[in-house]
Structure formats: structure tokens, C-alpha cells
Amino acid sequence: MTERLLIAGNWKMNGSLAALAEAEAIDQAAARHAGVDVALAPPAVLIAAMAARVAHLAVGAQDCHAAAKGAHTGNHSAAMLSEAGAHFAIIGHSERRADQGETSADVAAKAAALSTAGMQAILCVGEPLEVRDAGGALEWVTAQLEASLAAVIDPQLLTIAYEPIWAIGTGRVAELADISAMHDALAEALVIRFGDLGQDVRVLYGGSVNPGNAADILALDAVGGALVGGASLTAAQFVPIIEAAAAA
Ligand code: PGA
């Protein structure tokens, strides 16, 4: 595991040109805490405008299409996102797996497209509540990870985000011991998949991370940072999480 933590914000379908003032304030915090990697993924239509207004954080997308171009109405290729100013794309978010019916095979194809374009992927995995309650989360999530990596992917362009579905936007956070156990299992799966290079793939935790719980989560050895939804929308909420990472 690398020592630098990554604090990534996913604005989902929120934000506006006016909200870019928040991104500027977050950018200033990123400048103050140069030992922490900071990233923001706004809606695709805001990528270029955000990229023009920040200098210390990485701007990214919330999805990308697996194809380089063609008849895919409403989608964006990795190269298009890159040209707009995106350095990474979140892929396989549980909301897209649910809303758009994305399969792990789709996610693997997207990860491969990002690798080909030289862009970073933040690839999300995480179990539904019934799997957690039945006691099968470790096996379910590692299998989902393996299926989502079943393509030619550059591990140096890869970050994983473990986001239990029941913890996203609910205020309910996983137990610290459960987060550690899952991150250890994912780290092992990454070494099986990529050999030694798998050791350097960061695994973020996501799901209701906020200024009140970030320090405890980021202190866990196997946690390489956080993927933050709701609390990334304002500097008032997101900057304390960056500060917690700087202090971890
Ligand atoms: P949340 O979302 O922080 O609002 O729970 C996390 C995510 O979906 O990435």
C-alpha cells in the first residue's frame, strides 16, 4: 500500500457553475496539504470548467464508455473526458450498476479503455445489505473485484473503492473491523491479479464518510483514502476530511 492517501469526491448529479467556488476552496486546501492526493468528479458537463479553475487537485469523470467512439448516444469516451480535463474516471459505482444495469464485464471493459487512454480508474465494488447480513461479504466482493478486472488493465492506473451499498448516502458506516477485513481481502486479491504491482494499488473506503468519522477510517492500515459523496459537495464538509488525511 502506498503511503499517500487519496481523498476523492464524487459530486454525482449535483453541482453547477456556481458550485465551482466550492471546488476552488477545496483546491486551496489541497495546496495546503500537498502530502494528500485530492480529486473531484463533477458531472461531465462541469469537468472543463472545473479543470480551468483548479490547480492542486485532480478533476475526473463519474463514468466513461468502453468504446473509443461511435454510435453511443449520451456517452463519453475516455479520450473525450481526457481532452475536457479529466485525469480519471470513477467506474462501476453501485448507482450505475443498479440504475444502468452495468455488469462487472462492462466495468472491466471500461477499466481497459481508461488504461489504453492513459487515464486513472477508480473502480468501485461493494456488497448489498442482504449479502453482508448473510455473512458472505468478503467472498462476494472479492469475486466482484475479480470479474471487474477481467480485462487488460494497467495496475499503475488503478484505484479500488470499497463501498458497501448499504452505507452509501445512508449515514450508516461499516464497522472499522469489517472495513479492515475487507480491505485486507481486496489487497490479497489485487496481488493475485497483478503480482507485486498489486501491492501499490490503493483501496479507498466509501459510504457516508464525513468529517466526524474520517480520522478513524483513514487511520486503518489497509485504507488508502476515501471516496466521498455527500460530504464532498461543500468545502466546509470536504476540507476537514482532507485535513484528517493529512494528519493520519
Ligand atoms: P456518500 O456516497 O458519501 O454520500 O455515502 C459515497 C459514494 O457513493 O461514493
Note if 76 is an active site residue. Answer: no
All three cell numbers of 137, joined, read 461479504
Of 233, 217, 235, the C-alpha closest to 225 is 217
Q: Active-site residue among 93, 102, 127, 243?
A: 93
Marked catalytic residue, from 102, 127, 163, 243: 163
Q: Is the CB of 229 under 6 A from ligand 1?
A: yes
Q: Is 163 a catalytic residue?
A: yes
Neighbours of 194 (CB within 10 A): 18
Per-residue pLDDT of the chain (248 residues; tens, 9 = 90+): 447 999 999 999 999 999 999 999 999 999 999 999 999 999 999 999 999 999 999 999 999 999 999 999 999 999 999 999 999 999 999 999 999 999 999 999 999 999 999 999 999 999 999 999 999 999 999 999 999 999 999 999 999 999 999 998 888 888 999 999 999 999 999 999 999 999 999 999 999 999 999 999 999 999 999 999 999 999 999 999 999 999 99
Which residue out of 228, 232, 238 has the highest number of ligand 1 atoms within 8 Å of its CB and is therefore the one to mutate? 228
Q: Does ligand 1 come within 6 angstroms of the Cβ of 164?
A: no
pTM over 0.95: yes
